[in-house]
Amino acid sequence: MIAKNNLTTFKRFFISWETIFDEPKLVHEIQKTEKEINEDSFWDNNKDAQTIFNSLSEKKKKLETITSIRAIEGDILAYYELMNADPSLADDSELQTDYEKNIKIFVNQVADLENKSLLSGPYDTYNAYINFNAGAGGTDAQDWTEMLLRMYLRWCEKRQFKVDVLDKTSGDEAGIKSATCLVSGDLVYGYLKYEQGIHRLVRQSPFNANSKRQTSFAGIEVIPQIDTTVSTVTIDPKDLKIDTYRASGAGGQHVNKTDSAVRITHIPTGVVATSQASRSQASNKETALSLLKSRLLIIMQEEKKQEVSQLKGEQKENAWGNQIRSYVLHPYKLVKDLRSNYETSDVQGVLDGDLDKFVESLLRIKKEDKA
């Protein structure tokens, strides 16, 4: 028989989803933009043209999702019609399985589309650099930083986002001191932007002979990967200090025998970008320069401190009192976000990449704050 709770869930989404998404308006916007793109003068302003083109691509993806939801909605409604015509079919196991499957797909797609509607920031559609830095806590903090890196890599894997680890510095005894990754995919920066801040871990230390309770901290920074080909940023080569060094960590013998890793410092601002992801020094230089430009563009485009903090986050000391999320493994198990107050006792699930509930809760809170 039909599960009552699933039927209720479907009805709630069925009633509300069309009031959330204005499909005729979306179709009109796509048609209007396509007409604009076909104008001969469209690409005269390359910067604006690329932005408009990217926006059109996102709107088309949204329309495709809406079309898919409508098709699934039709299948579910057809099932109801069959039940009304012949109630005995409600005991058909094959129909029941199809029904449960379609309900799940329908609810998940509507929820995902609703979450995407919360992402309307100027950089939400961009890829993102995510930087990890060990804070207070010594070896425990470095181990915690590596645990966070693994957590986000697993989350990206579940989301089918592409991740390139650009730079990673090993800890003195365990873990890592720092790491930089480039995450690529649909609305990456929009999903990750509120993950920036200080993450606090409380546990029994595996590096202490007495297994004493230890509090450790790690800082995360999230930066949109801005397309420097369509943005105005000029860097005088004289303002750059470029250092090369031997890459550390995985990569085989070759990568450690040559000075393939690159560190670029913008002397006037002190901004630094590094890359050791490739065996090619030229490739690493290009990657590091792209990261450097993204950082400098943010500084140039956001002149007011408040605007900078909204985009890039406040840079705070990685210590007690500045954390945005707390992960407690001992004496009890709890992960709690201190901004949205969302919490769960499934600590292992979170550390294995189950972050969607935290991301969604923050998107909704921030949306309400702006309303």
Within-domain flag for 303: yes
* One domain, residues 113 and 149: no
What is the mean pLDDT of the segment spanning 128-141?
92
For residue 135, the domain's CATH number is 3.30.70.1660
* One domain, residues 8 and 106: yes
Positive or negative, the CA dihedral 175, 176, 182, 188 is positive
Last residue of a domain, one of 117, 142, 163: 117
Q: What is the pLDDT of residue 253?
A: 43
pLDDT top residue among 93 and 369: 93
pLDDT higher than 90, residue 133: yes
Tens-place pLDDT, residues 296-354: 877 776 655 555 555 555 555 555 456 899 999 999 999 999 999 999 999 999 999 99
Q: What is the pLDDT of residue 290?
A: 87
Last residue of a domain, one of 117, 147, 174: 117
Tens-place pLDDT, residues 248-272: 654 444 445 577 899 999 998 888 9
pLDDT higher than 50, residue 364: yes
* One domain, residues 298 and 171: yes
* 52, two tokens: 């408009």
* 276, two tokens: 């050791």
How many distinct structural domains can be found in the chain? 2
What is the residue type of 168? Answer: K
Within-domain flag for 90: yes
Q: What distance in Å separates the CA atoms of residue 158 and residue 151, rounded to the nearest whole number? A: 11
Lowest-confidence segment of 3-7, 81-85, 168-172 by average pLDDT? 3-7
Specify the DSSP class assigned to residue 317.
Answer: -
pLDDT higher than 70, residue 12: no
Give the H/E segment covering residue 85. helix 46-85
Q: What is the pLDDT of residue 312?
A: 57
pLDDT higher than 50, residue 3: no
* One domain, residues 173 and 99: no
Strands (E), the chain: 128-134, 162-170, 176-184, 197-204, 213-224, 240-245, 261-266, 271-275, 323-328, 334-337, 343-344
* 287, two tokens: 């990657």
Within-domain flag for 336: no
Report which of 197, 195, 142, 191 is spatially closest to residue 169, judged by C-alpha positions. Answer: 142
Last residue of a domain, one of 301, 320, 339: 320
* One domain, residues 102 and 239: no
Q: What is the mean pLDDT of the chain?
A: 83
Domain that holds residue 29: 4-117
What is the mean pLDDT of the segment spanning 17-44?
82
* One domain, residues 132 and 270: yes
* One domain, residues 183 and 286: yes
Q: What distance in Å separates the CA atoms of residue 140 and residue 15, rounded to the nearest whole number? A: 50
Report which of 163, 170, 156 is spatially closest to residue 225, judged by C-alpha positions. Answer: 163
Neighbour tally for 98: CB within 10 Å: 14
Q: What is the pLDDT of residue 61?
A: 85
Within-domain flag for 343: no
* One domain, residues 215 and 309: yes
Cβ atoms of 247 and 257 within 8 Å: the answer is: no
* One domain, residues 147 and 261: yes
Helix ranges (DSSP H) in 245-346? 252-257, 281-301, 305-312
* One domain, residues 286 and 240: yes
Tens-place pLDDT, residues 222-231: 999 887 655 5
Q: What is the pLDDT of residue 301?
A: 65
Percent of the chain past pLDDT 70, that is, above it, reads 82
Q: Is 137 left (phi over 0), alpha (psi -120 to 50) or beta?
A: left
Cβ atoms of 185 and 127 within 8 Å: the answer is: yes
Q: What is the pLDDT of residue 254?
A: 44
Residue 16: pLDDT band (50, 70, 90) is low
Tens-place pLDDT, residues 267-312: 988 889 999 988 889 999 988 988 898 888 777 766 555 555 555 5
Tens-place pLDDT, residues 48-103: 777 788 788 888 888 888 888 888 888 888 887 787 788 777 777 788 788 888 88
Within-domain flag for 342: no
Q: In angstroms, what CA-CA distances link 209 with 143, 205, 213, 230?
A: 16, 8, 11, 55
Cβ atoms of 114 and 187 within 8 Å: the answer is: no
* One domain, residues 81 and 155: no
- Counting Cα atoms < 13 Å in the Cβ hemisphere of 99 gives 23
Report which of 143, 120, 145, 142 is spatially closest to residue 131, judged by C-alpha positions. Answer: 145
Within-domain flag for 31: yes
Cβ atoms of 220 and 197 within 8 Å: the answer is: yes
pLDDT higher than 80, residue 6: no
Within-domain flag for 79: yes
Percent of the chain past pLDDT 90, that is, above it, reads 38
Q: In angstroms, what CA-CA distances link 45 with 33, 37, 63, 270, 351?
A: 15, 12, 27, 32, 45
Within-domain flag for 337: no
Q: What is the pLDDT of residue 5?
A: 46
Residue 202: pLDDT band (50, 70, 90) is very high
* One domain, residues 150 and 233: yes
For the whole model, what pTM was predicted? 0.74
